Structure 1
Amino acid sequence: MATEQEKSVMIVGIDDSTESSHALEWTLDKFFVTYSSNHPFKLIIVHAKPSPSSITGLSGPGFIGFVPFVEEDLRKIAATVSEKAKELCNSKLVNDVIIEVVEGDPRNVLCEAVEKHQATILVVGSHGHGAIKRAVLGSVSDYCAHHAHCTVMIVKKPKTKH
């Protein structure tokens, strides 16, 4: 099998959603657990931490007092997301993983991570928003599929039957 330097890079984009967790778990099961220690990829997990101003939509003198509180909350969320990803990897006995937290818009952060690491595959989860919500919010997976310079795998969480 390929040595660590020869392995292709696979990036998995994560956030605090169940869809993201499902995409990571699916990726681990299909590409890492199956191959045991001889998996063909170097795994890098990337979480895009929003900036405080992008969360609140505020700016100006009154906003400055809120920045430390918002920043602290965003830092805690990023730490929780990273820890859950690490725990999931450990539970699947995938210990050779890099987790990066980068501030910025997830679409740009993921595409930039692909370039930085020369990734061959980017894996993202699908939130399954409808056309209107996707048009208003923007779809990270759709953006990455059109702008990332690698193969983009969009993992959809199976619908549960009622």
Structure 2
Amino acid sequence: MAEEASSAPAPAPAGGKMTMVAGVDESDHSFYALQWALQHFFQPAQPQQYRLVVVTAKPSAASAVGLAGPGAADVLPFVEADLKRTALRVIDKARDLCAAAQVADTEFEALEGDARNVLCDAVERHHAEMLVVGSHGYGAIKRAVLGSVSDYCAHHAHCTVMIVKKPKPKH
């Protein structure tokens, strides 16, 4: 069943702050985007206009392994433990960045699923006005093969989507 986007603004959360969701993974690109958002929207001496929800997606162990061959089921607990450790490291790093930027009104979520769906669902669940994601800067072919989380979110999230690109090193 398809849902239609409402043109009515989302209700303001308690305290009147708008909500910003920031998607992070273990890439430098996503942490650059989070740092950029912290620097531009959460300046320490200014009152915070946004409540920040930092979200990371943890793929399921079954999707990571693919369950293709004999013995794959024996590997699942190890893969699951590794995926959980990775998600916790990502959240810990995001928590440290937010603390260093003195951002008080934050929430952190590590949710299982495909990053595209996890982020769009978080936007809906938190009634977010903005979603911030990084960009790996894939070309058209890689983007077509691998899929682009930022591209998907730009087309499917029901809020403003800010795609932050990490500057390329100058030669």
- After TM superposition, the score normalised by the length of structure 2 is 0.88
Distance in 2, Cα, partners of 1:96 & 1:115: 19
Matching residue within 114, 132, 141 for 2:141: 132
Partner of 2:35: 25
Partner of 1:15: 25
Distance in 2, Cα, partners of 1:60 & 1:6: 53
> Does the aligned pair in 2 maintain the 1:53–1:59 contact within 8 Å?
no
Distance in 2, Cα, partners of 1:5 & 1:145: 28
Distance in 1, Cα, partners of 2:51 & 2:45: 13
Partner of 2:168: 159
Q: How many residues align?
A: 160
Percent same amino acid among aligned pairs?
57
Distance in 2, Cα, partners of 1:65 & 1:3: 45
User: Shift of the alpha carbon at 1:94?
Assistant: 1.3
Q: Gapped runs of 5+ residues in structure 1?
A: none
Greater helix share, 1 or 2? 1
Distance in 1, Cα, partners of 2:58 & 2:152: 17
Q: Gapped runs of 5+ residues in structure 2?
A: 1-11
RMSD: 1.6
> Does the aligned pair in 1 maintain the 2:24–2:133 contact within 8 Å?
yes
